[in-house]
């Protein structure tokens, strides 16, 4: 075991990935170093409970940690994130190595708690309280940033969609202060980031809670878009019901805003949408899509879809397939509905049998494959730009090595670039040559910048 070393295992959404990255930086700032699981003194499980059997997943991950570390009592295990928020002190039962449980707001205090626990071996700590406003976190060391940076703009969600556990695990919506957001954006751009993704569970509702400082989401977007050094701007996740005219206009007005929007539809049936308490219907969604495409004709949409929501009929499901075709989603995340404790839909009657859910999911994914393939194929021959993220695992032909970047749509693209240089973080103009299953290949058409 390596003294002052840590290993983080991350489950769940982009916000969890971001929390884990922050925790790694904060621990590094306190003199810890990252290590493989077998050697780590501190093991963090950053957990998700949005679907399926999250408790079991955490218990089996804890079992694996115990096995790999030989049950060494000197190893400190911390469980953080949404399952920690949900199960709290129960996680101490039976798992001797677990000495820290930190929920969604509590994670901000995890670095200090970890130091304290290492100094006081008999101690256990739980950080489960929700705070009343957004908690700013320690910055950590200021080393070079990745080309693509994620910036939190809020915590929690107030929507209570009937299937969803997030409002319970992440708490009520709390907007972060605008100056703190802009400062963090400037800091990552200063350290070399070229692209920023603003993160939150319902980003368009930014500012509309008691922590809001009078700046709307659209106003925040235009301020971030104006920051020097920013080449690309994205955000995730918007809620269709909260996309206002200013949010739509931003796609026409803000040059760095990428022509890609992840817009969760969940279902194409009005009755199901109503029971999900999504507060929009097919017509609203289609109208929104039409406005977005009018503002930005090259916009591509992706989405989240749930199949087998309680009471979903074959006809409801077919309405979802039909909406997928009408919207021409370039990609989608699709899930079988699963009961979440505390979420309203868990009490709904007419649960759909797993085999029916599974059969619908397969049909939906088959259609998505077709739509995605069509979308990728339509990209061939187009001129675009890539932000290079690193060397490609695929070997380039001839003398030039192959690199992987992303186009403005977020699609991975492979391109060969001059040998002998690190191109990470550079922008390169290209022409798309060929569509692969989930990626594209391209040829450079001009100078890197
Ligand atoms: N705030 C975001 C993301 C929420 S969680 C949003 O509003 O879209 C990510 C996705 O998980 C959701 O969009 C939904 O498609 C899916 N999901 C959430 N709860 C679920 C459940 N109980 N069963 C199946 N899928 C679920
Ligand atoms: Fe969950 Fe709905 Fe909030 Fe998204 S908007 S996090 S699906 S409650
Ligand atoms: Fe999962 Fe929590 Fe994110 S439940 S999806 S980690 S907000």
For residue 339, the CA-to-ligand 2 centroid distance in Å is: 15
Q: Residue 141's pLDDT is what?
A: 78
Q: Binning pLDDT at 50, 70 and 90, where does residue 395 land?
A: low
Average pLDDT on 198-216 reads: 96
Q: Residue 396's pLDDT is what?
A: 55
Q: Binning pLDDT at 50, 70 and 90, where does residue 264 land?
A: very high
User: Using a 6 Å cutoff on CB, does residue 337 contact ligand 1?
Assistant: yes
Contact 435, 158 (CB under 8 A): no
Alpha carbon separation from 332 to 157, 197, 296, 303 (Å, rounded): 22, 18, 20, 5
Asked whether residue 95 carries a pLDDT value surpassing 80, the answer given is no
| pTM recorded for the entire structure | 0.94
Classify residue 122 by burial, with Cβ atoms within 10 Å: 0-12, 13-18, 19+. exposed
Q: Residue 93's pLDDT is what?
A: 86
Average pLDDT on 163-187 reads: 96
In whole angstroms, what is the distance from residue 243 CA to residue 246 CA? 8
DSSP 398: T
For residue 169, the CA-to-ligand 3 centroid distance in Å is: 8
Average pLDDT on 359-385 reads: 97
Nearest to 270 by CA among 279, 286, 281: 281
Nearest to 104 by CA among 176, 163, 155, 174: 155
Q: Binning pLDDT at 50, 70 and 90, where does residue 232 land?
A: very high
Q: Give percent of the chain above pLDDT 90.
A: 86
Q: In 265-400, where do the E strands start and end? A: 300-307, 331-336, 383-391
Question: What integer best gives the mean pLDDT of the chain?
Answer: 94
For residue 353, the CA-to-ligand 3 centroid distance in Å is: 25
Domains delineated in the chain: 5-127 (3.40.50.12160), 148-378 (3.80.30.20), 383-444 (no CATH)
Q: pLDDT of 2-33, one tens digit each?
A: 999 999 999 988 999 999 999 999 999 999 99
Nearest to 360 by CA among 280, 425, 267: 267
Residues composing the chain: 449
Strands 300-307 and 98-102, by their bridges, are unpaired
Alpha carbon separation from 169 to 44, 53, 59, 136, 202 (Å, rounded): 18, 15, 18, 19, 15
Q: pLDDT of 281-334, one tens digit each?
A: 999 999 999 999 999 999 999 999 999 999 999 999 999 999 999 999 999 999
Residue 357's DSSP bridge partners are none
- Residue in the structure block whose two tokens are 């915590």: 155
Which protein residues touch ligand 2 with a CB less than 6 Å away? 157, 159-161, 164, 166-167, 201-202, 239
Q: Residue 144's pLDDT is what?
A: 77
Asked whether residue 139 carries a pLDDT value surpassing 90, the answer given is no
């Amino acid at each position: 075991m390596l003294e002052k070393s840590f290993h983080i295992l991350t489950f769940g959404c982009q916000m969890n990935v971001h929390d884990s990255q922050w925790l790694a930086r904060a621990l590094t700032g306190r003199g810890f170093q990252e290590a493989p699981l077998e050697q780590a003194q501190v093991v963090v499980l950053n957990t998700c409970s949005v679907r399926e059997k999250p408790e079991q997943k955490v218990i089996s991950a804890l079992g694996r940690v115990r096995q790999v570390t030989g049950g060494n009592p000197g190893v400190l295990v911390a469980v953080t994130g949404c399952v920690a928020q949900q199960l709290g002190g129960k996680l101490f039962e039976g798992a001797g190595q677990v000495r820290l449980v930190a929920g969604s707001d509590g994670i901000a205090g995890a670095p200090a708690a970890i130091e304290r626990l290492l100094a006081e071996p008999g101690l256990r700590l739980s950080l489960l309280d929700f705070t009343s406003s957004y908690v700013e976190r320690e910055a950590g060391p200021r080393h070079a940033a990745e080309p693509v940076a994620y910036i939190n703009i809020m915590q929690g969600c107030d929507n209570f969609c009937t299937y969803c556990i997030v409002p319970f695990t992440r708490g009520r919506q709390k907007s972060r202060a605008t100056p703190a957001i802009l400062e963090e954006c400037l800091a990552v751009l200063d350290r070399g980031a070229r692209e920023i993704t603003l993160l939150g569970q319902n980003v368009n509702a930014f500012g509309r809670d008691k922590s809001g400082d009078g700046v709307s989401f659209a106003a925040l977007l235009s301020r971030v878009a104006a920051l020097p050094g920013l080449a690309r701007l994205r955000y995730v996740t918007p809620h269709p019901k909260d996309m206002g005219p200013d949010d739509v206009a931003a796609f026409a007005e803000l040059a760095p805003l990428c022509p890609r929007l992840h817009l969760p539809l969940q279902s194409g049936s009005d009755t199901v949408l109503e029971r999900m308490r999504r507060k929009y219907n097919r017509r609203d969604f289609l109208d929104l899509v039409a406005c977005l495409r009018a503002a930005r004709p090259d916009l591509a949409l992706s989405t989240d879809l749930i199949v087998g929501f309680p009471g979903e009929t074959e006809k409801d499901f077919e309405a979802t397939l039909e909406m997928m075709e009408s919207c021409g989603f370039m990609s989608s995340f699709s899930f079988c509905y699963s009961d979440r404790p505390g979420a309203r839909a868990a009490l709904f009657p007419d649960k759909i049998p797993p085999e029916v859910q599974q059969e619908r999911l397969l049909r939906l994914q088959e259609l998505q494959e077709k739509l995605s393939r069509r979308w990728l194929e339509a990209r061939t021959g187009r001129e675009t730009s890539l932000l290079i993220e690193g060397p490609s695992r695929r070997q380039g032909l001839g003398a030039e090595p192959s690199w992987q970047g992303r186009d403005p749509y977020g699609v991975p693209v492979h391109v060969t670039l001059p040998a002998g240089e690190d191109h990470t973080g550079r922008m390169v103009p290209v022409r798309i040559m060929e569509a692969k299953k989930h990626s594209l290949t391209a040829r450079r058409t001009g100078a890197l910048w």
